[in-house]
Structure 1
Amino acid sequence: MRLRRWVRRRPPVSSLDVSRVEPLSGGRNEVVAWSGEDPLRPERRLRWRDHFTLTENLLHLPHLPDSHDGLRVAQLSDVHVGQATSDVRIRRAVEAVNAESPDLVFLTGDYVTHSARPLPRVREVLSGLKGRVFVVMGNHDHQVNAPYLRESFERLGYTVLQNEHRVVEVRGAPVTVLGVDDGRTGRDDVAATFRGAPESGTRLVLAHTPPTVEKLPAQGNLVQFSGHTHGGQFIVQGLTEAIFRRAGQPYIRGHYLVRGNQLYVNRGLGFGFGGPYLRRGSEPEVAFFTLRSRIALAAAG
């Protein structure tokens, strides 16, 4: 699916005003935002390592309740607190999310990398997200200390889901948020996640690894939000895709339709741009989504 993309100088995130564009025929749009002077750093120009991209995405759901038409979701993924990611970039991302006042905020795994040293900083740099925040764990989190991270997020008032679901009321109607634990480390249990959950209405799935989408109930009118791939991390056309497919990761970045459900793979906020890991052709991302019903879109058109 082709995306429209451009570069625009941004005001400080404390007064962020993301530009909007008309929907493309494919239903997904992207706004690239390179911010200028920032209140979190005194220099006139931000360092390269502090940049990230804001993306705007329309998700068309044929059976979306009328009250949820226009519902807004924000997603952060693969933050990798530590030397792989600038703290300023993370705090700017939190401010960018809050500036948009989304109905739901999703964090989809890998808050640390290999070391336990950054664990106390995770709660510090990811604190302050406003609204309903839902969290799942990634493979690196389990390899380092997932119980510690769960407790840290719960102290912030965020809801951590490990093969669990929650039903919350948003705009006067229920939303079911289903959090599948990490599939890379074999901790995913889709059956347990869906057990007792509503079988209709607005149902949104969080899962760190994209291939989890293949285990979801087919034709379920579900949307899965994932990360893990860093959008390919270092893009060499043809080669990157082949390597990921060989590794069992055919879903690298952006929007996919799989067995009657939708999948969005976030490029992640961390790993690269000033850290020890090379990143090319896959900018760090904060993703925003607007849910629309096909009926509402047809009427608007």
Structure 2
Amino acid sequence: MRLRRLARRDAPLAAPANSFRRNLQEDGRNALVARSGADPFRTERRLRWRDHFSLSENVLMVQHMHAEHDGLRIAQLSDVHVGQATSALRIRRAVEAVNEEKPDLVFLTGDYVTHSPKPLPRVRELLAGIQGPVYVVMGNHDHWVNAPYLRESFERMGYTVLQNEHRQVHVKGAPVTVLGIDDGLTGRDDVEATFRGAPVSGTRLVLAHTPPTAEKLPAHAGLVQFSGHTHGGQFVVRGLTEALFRRAGQPYIRGHYHVNGNQLYVNRGLGFGFGGPYLRRGSEPEVAFFTLRQAAVSAG
């Protein structure tokens, strides 16, 4: 698969924060031509529109992180929704795109299924093989279907599942603290338990399916939270979509925000749309990549 990074920019739903360099952001589409040779998911060389997704490149200026982590690369997949709502080939192409970039860390931020338990075995099939340290949190749909099954499946793949837990991993010679908060919509989030015993400084990255969890984090702590859940608005009508989400208690729809002195990125999600039963408009499926930069170094 060839990935063409086109100079295309999504119009943000909120004004970008100063510490987020949008002029360095690129948003590209995966080329709609399959690689040569047999493809186990689709034999035709031409990929369908429903297999399409976008690649976003984001630079995050982070205070208080370890100097060794300047340039740290992260990939994020969210809201995959394995089943009839999402092309299986789109998911496998997304995994290939992540592996091609060779990120230092990979984050999966919830909703791997939708309503039915039938696709549960396919989650392991389609999301297997992601290279590098992979950290996983659960979403509301996962709890509605079968979160224990999904946790076991991810752990068998060698991925680390965090449900109000934290882990440390050494990357580039310094520790990264990954804090995984369980789903807030279903009331399973426990920020206090997640942070209990965790370092209070250094590079600390938070995974939480629902974006408003950012409001519960310790304020002005130099944290970066990665979330999904909103599908970038799913069906975007300017003004109306934002108003509806705010009334539903979801003021953070897509992209980058500052919340109580910390940072939040809301992924548009990989699932739904383009031929499935749930339409998407103005919010393309996304695989997000991030480069962390030390804020003080950049300012200098």
User: Do 1:77 and 1:227's aligned partners in 2 also have CA atoms closer than 8 Å?
Assistant: yes
1:27 to 21, 28, 38: 21
The CA distance in 2 between the partners of 1:20 and 1:148, in whole Å, is 41
What's the counterpart of residue 34 of structure 2? 38
Q: Percent identity?
A: 75
Tell me how far 1:87 sits from its aligned partner. 0.3
The CA distance in 2 between the partners of 1:17 and 1:119, in whole Å, is 32
Question: Match of 1:215, as an amino acid?
Answer: K
List aligned pairs for 1:60-75, cutoff 5 A.
60-75=61-76
The CA distance in 2 between the partners of 1:291 and 1:111, in whole Å, is 26
What's the counterpart of residue 5 of structure 1? none
List aligned pairs for 1:70-85, cutoff 5 A.
70-85=71-86
Tell me how far 1:20 sits from its aligned partner. 8.7
User: Do 2:4 and 2:31's aligned partners in 1 also have CA atoms closer than 8 Å?
Assistant: no
Tell me how far 1:296 sits from its aligned partner. 2.8
List aligned pairs for 1:188-203, cutoff 5 A.
188-203=189-204
Alignment pair present for 1:180 and 2:169: no
User: Do 2:7 and 2:28's aligned partners in 1 also have CA atoms closer than 8 Å?
Assistant: no
What's the counterpart of residue 205 of structure 2? 204
List aligned pairs for 1:201-280, cutoff 5 A.
201-280=202-281
What's the counterpart of residue 105 of structure 1? 106
What's the counterpart of residue 290 of structure 2? 289
User: Do 2:230 and 2:268's aligned partners in 1 also have CA atoms closer than 8 Å?
Assistant: yes
Q: What SS does the corresponding residue of 2:299 show, helix, strand or coil?
A: helix
User: Do 2:32 and 2:52's aligned partners in 1 also have CA atoms closer than 8 Å?
Assistant: no
Q: What SS does the corresponding residue of 1:31 show, helix, strand or coil?
A: strand
Q: Deviations over 1:162-188 (max 9, x none)?
A: 000001101000000000000000000
User: Do 1:65 and 1:201's aligned partners in 2 also have CA atoms closer than 8 Å?
Assistant: yes
User: Do 1:37 and 1:43's aligned partners in 2 also have CA atoms closer than 8 Å?
Assistant: no
Q: What SS does the corresponding residue of 1:129 show, helix, strand or coil?
A: coil
Unaligned runs of 5+ in 1: 1-11
Q: Deviations over 1:76-100 (max 9, x none)?
A: 0000000010000000000000000
Question: Match of 1:27, as an amino acid?
Answer: R
Alignment pair present for 1:153 and 2:138: no
Q: How high is the TM-score relative to the length of structure 2? A: 0.91
Tell me how far 1:294 sits from its aligned partner. 1.9
The CA distance in 1 between the partners of 2:62 and 2:30, in whole Å, is 31
Tell me how far 1:17 sits from its aligned partner. 6.8
Tell me how far 1:36 sits from its aligned partner. 2.6
The CA distance in 1 between the partners of 2:195 and 2:159, in whole Å, is 20
Distance 1:276 1:17, change over 3 A: closer
Question: Match of 2:176, as an amino acid?
Answer: V
Q: Deviations over 1:133-182 (max 9, x none)?
A: 00000000000000000000000000000000001101000000000000
Q: How many aligned residue pairs are there? A: 284
User: Do 2:211 and 2:228's aligned partners in 1 also have CA atoms closer than 8 Å?
Assistant: yes
Tell me how far 1:297 sits from its aligned partner. 1.9
Q: What SS does the corresponding residue of 1:54 show, helix, strand or coil?
A: strand
User: Do 2:6 and 2:28's aligned partners in 1 also have CA atoms closer than 8 Å?
Assistant: no
User: Do 1:210 and 1:249's aligned partners in 2 also have CA atoms closer than 8 Å?
Assistant: yes
Q: Deviations over 1:189-216 (max 9, x none)?
A: 0000000000000000000000000000
Tell me how far 1:30 sits from its aligned partner. 2.7
